Amino acid sequence: MNILVTGGAGYIGSHTVIELMNSGHQVAVVDNLANSCEKSLERAAEIVGREIPFYKADIRDREGLSGAMKAHEDRTGQAFDCCIHFAGLKSPNESIRIPLEYYDNNITGTQVLLGELIRHGCKNMIFSSSASVYGSPAVIPVTEECPKGQCTNPYGWTKSMLEQILTDLQTADPEWNIVLLRYFNPIGAHESGLIGEDPNGIPNNLMPYITQVAAGRRKELNIYGDDYDTPDGTGIRDYIHVVDLARGHVKALGAIGNKCGLAVYNLGTGRGYSVLEVVRAFEEANGVKIPYIIRERRAGDVAVSYSDPAKAERELGWKAQYGITDMCRDAWNWQRKNPDGLSGR
Ligand code: NAD
Ligand code: UDP
């Protein structure tokens, strides 16, 4: 298929571009580089051994986006068959401080994108959603039938609202095929160590914080709470290797090809690890000590969240292949080889 990848220079997008190209698909990336740099695509091109067409554009900029799509269609003589839509702002903490920017970027951006896709005759989309739409999950492991919950920050609400907008669109126009992929906790990096997670400033997420402690950039890990109702008191999450997640998108194209209408899938491993278990797994996989200190619980965190990924296996034929040791090894390999990331932020 000929695929428009928005946000393809980012963490998950760049890994997905590689898996798409390795599976024989053609891609074009649109990204405004707000949270990434072109180097990630140069590295991805090095991995696949082919050029990756890139158009710098903001998805909120109708003319810029349309121009990029047209330029690519003219260049290749092919219309887009599907859009994989990663572009958006993604920090829950930041979204509490600047909610309007999150609603503008994520919601307005997606609305402009949908309008342009329609104008260009493309009614297929795979959307990056998040386990955060479940709020504090009513059922563990979390199935797709678990009711959506109260989100704890504007970022989560943008995902929840976008799911609703996309659902309403598909109901209004059944020619649309839309796959909502609810990611659990992507970590790790491509095994080459050429691309990986490149956070801006102090990492919010657990694994990049751990790798920066390992690299000596930060003194110790702050563990947010050891009094949760879990076996060791620390929060439990479903960590998934970013390459497994990327492959989930390739499989989701099968559902689009089969005219799925609206479909929702969890992408996780189905196995939860506590923060302390991740720290231990990282130390064992890499032979590096991670000093930590127990802090207060972080506002908005839930105690336990892990997926039931059976639906994706049954319907898409997708199952995570990598375990926590692989994730820890690849995350450290990337950080070690790129101590300041790609953009040196
Ligand atoms: P990322 O920030 O690395 O990638 C997002 C990309 O989108 C960046 O390259 C950024 O420059 C680009 N972008 C942002 N706003 C844009 C705009 N208006 N126009 C064009 N490009 C724009 O994030 P990621 O971790 O790769 O996440 C990708 C998607 O997956 C996001 O939608 C995110 O919300 C979602 N998601 C991520 C996680 C996670 O833990 N990383 C979990 C669940 C869902
Ligand atoms: N966490 C932590 N220290 C950190 C970052 C995260 O203890 O510096 C914990 C957090 O409380 C949660 C887990 O690690 O229990 C995963 O957090 P992350 O922010 O990576 O993902 P979330 O599930 O919150 O989106």
Q: What pLDDT, on the 0 to 100 scale, is given for residue 229?
A: 96
Distances (CA, A) of 269 to 104, 110, 304, 325: 32, 28, 14, 13
Atom of ligand 1 at shortest range from CA of 36:
9
pLDDT at 233: 98
pLDDT on residue 167: 98
**Which residue matches tokens 């003194």?**
219
Catalytic residue, chosen from 102, 103, 155, 228, is 155
Alpha-carbon separation of residue 153 from 83, 128, 150, 159, 185 (angstroms): 27, 17, 9, 10, 17
Q: Which ligand is nearest to the CA of 34?
A: 1
Q: Which residue's alpha carbon is nearest to atom 5 within ligand 2?
A: 206
237 touches ligand 1 (CB under 6 Å) = no
Q: How far is CA 146 from CA 128, 137, 319, in A?
A: 18, 7, 20
The C-alpha atoms of residue 222 and residue 58 are separated, in whole angstroms, by 35
Measured CA to CA in angstroms, residue 7 lies from 15, 40, 180, 332 at distances of 11, 11, 16, 24
In this predicted structure, what is the pLDDT of residue 344? 62
User: Which residue's alpha carbon is at the smallest distance from atom 20 of ligand 2?
Assistant: 205
Cα separation, 238 vs 64, whole angstroms: 38
**Contact between residue 52 and residue 21 where contact means Cβ atoms under 8 Å apart:** yes
- Residue ranges, the chain, pLDDT below 70: 344-345
Judge if the beta carbon of residue 10 lies within 6 A of ligand 1.
yes
* Nearest CA among 223, 232, 320 for reference residue 271: 320
pLDDT of residue 200: 84
Q: What is the best residue among 12, 39, 43, 63 to mutate for testing ligand 1's pocket, by most ligand atoms within 8 Å of CB?
A: 12
Instruction: Tell me what pLDDT residue 222 has.
Output: 98
How high is the pLDDT of residue 231?
Answer: 98
- Known active-site residue 155: yes
Residue nearest atom 6 of ligand 1, based on CA coordinates: 7
Rounded to a whole number of angstroms, the distance between the first and last alpha carbons of the chain is: 35
Residue-level pLDDT at 345: 54
The pLDDT tens digits of the residues spanning 231-263 come to: 999 999 999 999 999 999 999 999 999 999 999
Q: Summarize pLDDT for 101-114 with one digit per residue, the tens.
A: 999 999 999 999 99
Name, in order, each residue with C-beta under 8 angstroms of 288's C-beta and a sequence gap of 6 or more.
214, 282, 332
